[in-house]
Amino acid sequence: MGRKQPFMTAGAVLLFFGFGLLFLLLIGRFVFIQSVGEVQGKSLAEEAVQRYTKNTSLDSARGNILDRNGNVIAENTSSFKLIAVISEKASEYVEDKEMTARKLSEFIPMTEQEILARLNPERENTWQVEFGTAGSAISFSEKEEIDALELPGIDLIREQQRFYPNGVFASHLVGYSQLTQLDDGTYQSQGQLGIEKSYEEYLQGEDGTLTYESDIWGILLPEGNEEMIPPKHGSDVYLTLDKKIQTFLEDAMSTVQEEYNPKQMIAIVADPDTGAILAMSQRPTFHPQTREGINQTWHNFAIESAFEPGSTMKVFTLAAAIEEGAFHPNDKFQSGSLQIGPDRINDHNWGKGWGEITFLEGVQRSSNVAFGILARDYLGYESFRKYLDEFGFGKPTGIGLPGETTGKILYNYEVEKITTAFGQGTTLTPIQQIQAATAIANEGKMMKPYVVDRIVDGNTGEIVEETEPTVVGEPISSKTAKEVLDILETVVTAEEGTGNRYKLEGYSVAGKTGTAQIPDPGNGYLKGYDDFVYSFLGMAPKDDPKLIVYVAIQQPELDEEIYESGAVPVSMIFNPVMKNSLQYLNIKPNNLPKPKAVTVPNLEGENSENAKNKLIDLGIDVISVGTGTKVVQQVPIAGTKLLPGEKVILKLDGDTTVPDMTSWSLQDVMKFIKVSGIQLNSAGSGYVIRQSIAPGSTLSDSDILVVELEPPAVTFEKKNAPVEEDESEILDEEESEETLEAVAGT
C-alpha cells in the first residue's frame, strides 16, 4: 500500500497539469475569439444573424385594370401553386416519385416523364421543386382533388393569379399577363400584350419583407428585433372603355363571325367630344384567361394594321373640298369612268355609272369618278395634300399603345393622287380614321384618341396620372363640319344612297360606306366576289354626334347566288351597337315621327263590327263591353282628339261585361266606369296588375270594381327576381286578394 502512493500522486499531478493546460487553451481560445470575433475566417456575428434572423417576403398585388365606371376588366385572385419536397432530410418528402408523377399528370398539363424529371433535379441537396406555369394557377376545387390523393411531400401554397372576368373583351387592347420566371428562380406575373404590357411599370407592385429574430426552431423571439418593409401594390389603370358598350360590340362581332366567317374584323366606338375610345374589338381574338386563339394573331388591328380604306376616305376629301369652297353640290359631271393618262378610273358598278349626275348624287352613290374630278379640277392636288396632313394621315395618333403604324400616303403620280381621293392606294389605320372623324363630329376640332382615363395609386388611392382630352388640330371649320354631316346623312336617307342599311329608328345617322379592294401582290387586286374590305364610318345623332362607330370586315363569306351585299354583315354590327349604345347613354331619339292626333267619330247607334273597324283604321284601340251588337254609348265622346294607340270604350246593348284590364292605366279604367255606371276603388299607382271582378263576368248595378295598380319598374323587378320556393307565387296571390278585399271594404 505504501509503494502505490507515489504513483497515485504522480498521476494526479499529471492530470492536474493536463486539465490545467486544456483549460488554459480553452480560455485562450475564447479570449482570442472574443477579441477578433472570427472563427476560420468567418464572422461569428454575421453567422448568428444569418442563423437566427429570418426573412419573409410580403407579396405585393398587381394593379387592377378597370373600365371608366370602375367595372373590373383584369384583377388578381387567389389560386394555388404546386410544390414537391424531395429532400430526405424533411419529415415528409416524395418517396415514390414514379407513382407521384403518374398521379399528378392527371391534374396538371405536364406528362409523367416531365414531372419525373422535375422530381429528379441535377443539383444535389435540393430541398423542394416547383412545376413552373403548369403547376400554377390551380383552382380551389383542383387543390381539393390533389389533396385527396394524400401524396407525401406534395403541397399547394396560396398565390396570386390574374383573372379576366369578362372573357373575350377587347382582348388585344387589354392584353394579358402570366407568371414569368425571374433570374432568382422565383415567379412573377408580368404583362405580355396590350395594356398589361405597355403599363407594366404602373401595374407591377414591389414585394415587401419581414425580418425578425427567431430561436433555433424558427419561432419568433418575444424580445427579438423585427423590421418590416411593407409591399408596394401596383397602381390601378382605369381605361376609357365602357363595359356595357364593349359587351354590345363583342356580342355583335361574335354573331357576324359565326354567320359570315370573315378573315378579319375590326370595330371601334369613340366619343367625338373627347377622343375617348369606348369600345374596341377584332376578330380573330383570344381569351385572355386561357390564351385560346392567341396564336392566330398578336396584332391589334386598330393601331397596327394599315390598309386601303376605300370609300370612307371620301368623307375627308369631301370635307377638304367644302372647307376650300370647292364643293358645289348641284354641279354636274359625267359618271362612269375617268381617264388619267394610261389609267382608267371606274365607278364601282363596273364603270357603267349613272349618266350625268350632280356631285351631291355622286357622294350619295359613292362615285369614284366624282371624287377624282373633285380632287383634280375643284380642290387641286396641292391643296388636297395639305388636308391629308391636317387630318393626321401618315402620322401616328399617339394613342399610347405599342406598335402603332402610320400607313403610307401614295402621292407621287397623278393616278395616285386621284385614287387617294377615293380611298385606294394610300393606306390608313382604323384609329387614324377615328381621329380624323372627330373633326367632322366635333365642330372641326380633331381630338387625340386615348384608351387610359386615369391611373390610381394602389396604396394611397391618389390619382397618379389622368388623361385630359386633347385637341390635335382644326382641319376644318365648325360650319364645314355641319355641312359634311348634313351631306353624309343623305348617304343614309336618300333613295340612291349607298348607306340605306344603316338607318336607325329614332336616330339620324351621318356616315359613309366603304368597299376597298384587297391587293394581290404581283397581280393587282383580288377579283373574287367577296374579296373586299367592307366598312362603314358613322356618326349619330347627326346634329350633335355623341358616338363615332367604325366597322371594317374583310372577306366575309357572302351568298353570291342572291347577290348578298357586304353591307349586310357590317350593318349587323354597326346598327345594334350604335342604337343600343345611344339608348344606354340616355341620348334621346331625334327623328321619331310625331304621332298625329285623330278625331273620334260618332259611333252611337252603329253596328258594333262597323264601329270597331272604323276605329281600327284610325289606329285606335277598341274595347267592346256588352253582349249585344249595337253601340249605345262611347267614351270618349265624338269629336275628342286621341293619339293612335289610345283606348275607346264601346258599350253595346244587352248585358254589360267586364274586360280584362291588366296593364290598363287608371284613366282607361275610368272610361269603363263611366260606361258601366258601377263604383270603383283603386289601390296603388301605375298600371293594373289585378282586378276584383273576373274578365268576362256580367255586371250588376251593385257591383264594386277594385283594381290594384303597380309601377312598371316594380312589376319588372318582380318578374326577374329569383323564386326561392314554389309557394312564393301562391303567397303573392293570397296577399293580393287580401289587398283587394281591404280596398273593397273602404
Is residue 485 within 8 A of residue 540, CB to CB? The reply is no
Which positions ≥6 away from 396 have C-beta within 8 Å? 404, 405, 406
**Closest by Cα among 274, 280, 271, 287 to 243:** 280
Is residue 438 within 8 A of residue 445, CB to CB? The reply is yes
State the CB neighbour count (10 A cutoff) for residue 75: 18
Told to judge if 214 belongs to the known catalytic residues of this protein, a careful annotator would answer: no
How far apart are alpha carbons 226 and 211 in whole angstroms? 5
Query: What size, in residues, is the chain?
Result: 746
Is residue 268 within 8 A of residue 549, CB to CB? The reply is yes
Q: Which residue has cell 410544390?
A: 83
How far apart are alpha carbons 202 and 225 in whole angstroms? 33
Q: Which residue has cell 372577306?
A: 555
Give the C-alpha distances (Å, rounded to integers) separating 126 from 67, 86, 90, 121, 657.
Answer: 45, 7, 11, 8, 91
Tell me the torsion sign for CA atoms 226, 227, 233, 234.
negative
Catalytic, out of 60, 177, 311, 367: 311
Tell me the torsion sign for CA atoms 186, 56, 157, 161.
negative
How far apart are alpha carbons 418 and 411 in whole angstroms? 9
C-alpha cell at 341: 393618262
**Closest by Cα among 529, 500, 348, 527 to 422:** 348
Tell me the torsion sign for CA atoms 562, 565, 568, 569.
positive
DSSP 375: I
How far apart are alpha carbons 715 and 303 in whole angstroms? 46
181 forms beta bridges with 187
DSSP 665: B
Is residue 690 within 8 A of residue 736, CB to CB? The reply is yes
Which positions are annotated as active-site residues? 311
